[in-house]
Structure 1
């Protein structure tokens, strides 16, 4: 069997184990057995448990970013359509790879340098979302101050909400598959939450607290 195929099997087994048990509790014996290889072969290919976990995180980061970028690649469409495409691609990917989502979530607490790589992924996605929201504000005729002052905050809120919604949707699916929302339904929930607020901002209709 080609090395790349066998290594993919190892990573698939490791992602499932790390997602289910966490880094510390995941067993290299169980990973090797699930991959259909010997434990020495896992160490030969991936050197250590830490290196195996790092390889899993990097693979899932690459796959997630590629899915989002692919979703927003269509040109000649409005910024909101691009954002919709990107969110739909994001939720389709996270629904198809729930173990990968769980591994990335666990990786945030693993310390350097793993947490730094996950943070860099979020920055890349945040930059893309910020650009789309800024373009939407510009298309709506907003002044530059709004884009600079508020769009960045909206982008952070949207990305954080997307991560939380992905975990929620996967939990729903795990509990009852036929009741889980589709990727488009989840994306529509977030678009309604975000886009309605952005539209009000572009029209100058900001929420303010009542005087006390």
Structure 2
């Protein structure tokens, strides 16, 4: 069998070609089942060249995680236009997230499934990406709350650190964590459910989240019932 012939091209281009092949292989076959041989064949290069560029299977997988994480974060950030209404910004962020994960199902499988189940340092790479998205969503919710003005029980507005109407910091952080977690699960479901578009997935989560956020911003939070007294033993 003849060796794989490769055309000369810039190193950065060749490396992206290898990463494309690796993302597809890892995303569809899983980290453990994927082999460097099939990645090299899909990329149209020799296996020694893959090792020369990316050192090892572990390094290649880490490079895939970093690239896919960076492109997802950038897609969400760039999808939100400044200066629009609070609900529009949240909608744009959700739509950008679901559009990207739908268009890149192999990359999303790596981030959401593969990287989290194979220990460190892979899980740490994904955790860093998630923290960045949660921080971005936290700011979106904080701005929405500030713009909406949340009345307190005494009729005044609750004020943030800069004198702006705002939800309590822990409330905003919790809402952001919940929203990101729901988006992650919904994206995984949407990618394997025929007929569910990115826009539909975004609208589903927007309807679920914004109704509750709207009530909070208008001073109508849901309160749990008081704990019942323990029955005598």
What corresponds to 2:43 in structure 1? 35
Q: Distance in 2 between matches of 1:22 and 1:193?
A: 32
1:75-113: CA deviation from partner (whole Å, max 9, x where unpaired): 221122111111111111000000000011211222222
What corresponds to 2:199 in structure 1? 184
1:1-48: CA deviation from partner (whole Å, max 9, x where unpaired): 422232222111111111122212211111111111111111111111
- On the 8 A contact 1:137/1:147 being kept in 2, the answer is no
What corresponds to 1:146 in structure 2? 167
1:48-97: CA deviation from partner (whole Å, max 9, x where unpaired): 1011101111110111011011012x222112211111111111100000
2:120 counterpart of 1:89: no
2:211 counterpart of 1:196: yes
Q: Which runs of 5+ in 2 are unaligned?
A: 1-7, 151-157, 161-165, 229-233
Q: Distance in 2 between matches of 1:136 and 1:5?
A: 41
Aligned residues: 205
- On the 8 A contact 1:80/1:132 being kept in 2, the answer is no
RMSD: 1.5
| Rg larger in structure | 2
Please give the residue correspondences for 1:90-129 in structure 2 after superposition, counting only pairs within 5 Å.
Answer: 90-105=97-112, 106-129=114-137
Normalising by structure 1, we get a TM-score of 0.91
Q: Distance in 2 between matches of 1:199 and 1:62?
A: 31
What corresponds to 1:77 in structure 2? 84
Normalising by structure 2, we get a TM-score of 0.83
1:106-136: CA deviation from partner (whole Å, max 9, x where unpaired): 1122222221121111111111111111111
Q: Distance in 2 between matches of 1:5 and 1:209?
A: 56
| 1:170 to partner: Cα distance | 0.5
Q: Which runs of 5+ in 1 are unaligned?
A: none
2:75 counterpart of 1:60: no
2:183 counterpart of 1:162: yes
Q: Give 3-state SS (helix, strand or coil) of 1:130's partner.
A: helix
**Taking structure 1 as reference, are residues 147 and 210 closer, same or farther at Cα in structure 2, changes over 3 Å only?**
closer
- On the 8 A contact 2:146/2:167 being kept in 1, the answer is no
Indicate the structure with greater helix content. 1
| 1:201 to partner: Cα distance | 1.4
Which of these residues, 202, 208, 212, is aligned with residue 223 of structure 2?
A: 208
